[in-house]
Structure 1
């Protein structure tokens, strides 16, 4: 098939940007040049790759198949580059890591410890909510993914490596902090719940917990980031269920308080995930080995976040 690597690069960029003009800008090409590359690909494949619905650009089924193959092609070149570097006696290259947003507080510390052992490996970290992370897994976009609650309907290899406790937090001086002893879970229902957006893994875990415990909040305010959610609690807007890792500083300085509730924390595990049919690059394999073999270092990093 008369397909060039440049055509695949243009195609992949259009997929990522969902726009011919933005792809052209990133690739330092004109929009007609991008359109021509896509038309040439379509002629070779005898399939349309994109179609407009209104003003939005959507991939066709053929494009989905090609995108998966394109990711595999470029990943194999990355592996070749790293294998050649191994022959030269140095392990070097990039690792593309996608992580659920709950992991973004801990993961930079893990990457720093890893890079102290592998100075020539450069991580590229992108943070997404759960829905976006699963989409990237389907598209085979990353070397490794860090997430909780690994979907069972995908063909994945995964390894749990660290707990991610979710706790209920309130502003210091909140009415619920005046309880002596444990706070009844039902007592939270009279207050406003500050929750994450639809598609968040933390929201999914909390909603399953509320359903199991028959807890219902009448008043809800929604945020699309932990930072905004945390600020909402600090401002006295309501209660939030948050990963302890993202509020450890506020819990230490006393500006936020973790409520002592018998049924909490909600404990989930972060997992290192990749598609089962994906051949890990030497750099990605080195990071997986680090997580497996350096348990003491991982535990020491996690201990820094304890309150």
Structure 2
């Protein structure tokens, strides 16, 4: 059997279709199709079937995923034997919550590049629930995210730090006329926030639900920087990790709304699949993250 065929199979799973996998691997789509056909012949099973215009996994194809992951992990181990220090090579795939990616990992990434220049590092910014799913499926090696309080026995998670979350507005916001504590009211402003699966958005929406507080509408933006600019322009309020708005609070571009009953914290963690082989690249990255967060 050709290991490349298993890599192709995994790429199709991660990318969602044959054409995206071909683009990622630098193959033509006909090459991808041919490799899967050869793999199916060698295994004497059908991995994909055509439903309409789409190629979808068969039940046996779904059963093959953990075995393919295990095989490719073993290949990584073999390839990394004897490679230490600046000789570390291979790939490292990391999924990170956007706020941690943008505000907390620059020093770690700089040091990792310096210590392991030969590692092909790829990073993706996702919400924490999507990161957990990717870790569980073996699509990424390591996740840095917030604890979403839902147990997954297949993952190992290590706490990094607790962070405060701040309700922020523009300095022009008429705070004196509004009350975010009194229940059963509608407040004439917008919530400018990340997507529905944002951990801190869920905290705020739960608070508003319990208080029966309604806002005019919700504006969803994918970038914290875009959210902050809209809030600074007095288009609404937002609820963000405090470290992401520290600079704007200090220079007066944003103001924090003090709501005593909304004293929320989020917990940053790193996580990996319990069956994941901790390669030299993963080990180094974890070491640098722990050092940066002062974890002994």
What is the deviation of 1:210?
A: 3.3
User: 1:298: how far off?
Assistant: 2.6
Q: SS state of the match for residue 96, structure 1? A: strand
**Structure 1 residues 170 and 266: CA distance shift in structure 2, 3 A:** same
The answer to whether the Cα contact below 8 Å between 1:82 and 1:91 also exists between their aligned partners in 2 is no
Which TM-score applies when normalising by structure 1?
Answer: 0.80
Give the whole-Å Cα distance in 2 for the aligned partners of 1:22 and 1:238. Answer: 38
**CA shift at 1:61, angstroms?**
3.7
Q: In structure 2, do the counterparts of structure 1 residues 149 and 275 end up closer, same or farther at CA, with 3 Å as the change threshold?
A: same
Which segments of 5 or more consecutive residues in structure 2 lack a partner in the other structure?
none
The answer to whether the 8 Å contact 2:136/2:154 transfers is no
Matches within 5 A, 1:242-281: 242-281=240-279
The range that moved more, 48-57 or 62-71, is: 48-57
Q: CA 1:258–1:119 in 2, change beyond 3 Å: closer, same or farther?
A: same
Separation in structure 2 between the aligned mates of residue 268 and residue 146 of structure 1, nearest angstrom: 13
| Structure 2 partner of 1:160 | 159
Taking the aligned partners of 1:199 and 1:53, their CA distance within structure 2 comes to 30
SS at match of 1:141: coil
The equivalent residue for 1:66 is 64
Asked if 1:14 corresponds to 2:12, the answer is: yes
In the TM superposition, what is the alpha-carbon distance from 1:6 to its structure 2 partner?
1.4
CA distance in 2 between partners of 1:164 and 1:64 (Å): 39
Deviation at residue 184 of structure 1 after TM alignment? 4.3
Larger deviation, residues 255-264 vs 44-53: 44-53
> Contact 2:195–2:220 (CA<8 Å) still a contact in 1?
yes
Q: Secondary structure at the match of 1:84?
A: coil
Correspondence for 1:204 = 202
How far did 1:186 drift? Answer: 3.9
> What's the secondary structure of 2:143's corresponding residue?
strand
Alignment of 1:1-307 (within 5 A): 3-86=1-84, 90=86, 92-93=88-89, 94-112=91-109, 114-115=111-112, 118-120=115-117, 122=119, 123-150=121-148, 151-176=150-175, 178=176, 184-186=180-182, 189-190=186-187, 191-292=189-290, 294=291, 297-298=292-293
Following superposition, the deviation at residue 125 of structure 1 comes to 2.3
Contact persistence 1:183–1:259 (CA under 8 A): no
* Equivalent position SS for 1:64: helix
| Structure 1 unaligned regions, length at least 5 | 300-307
Task: Show CA shifts across 1:249-292 (max 9, x none).
Answer: 32232111121221344201111111122221122223333444
Which is worse superposed, 72-81 or 263-272?
Answer: 72-81
* 91 and 171 in structure 1: CA distance in 2 versus 1, 3 angstrom threshold: same
Preserved CA contact (<8 Å) 1:100 1:128: yes
Q: Quick one: distance in 2 between partners of 1:49 and 1:78?
A: 24
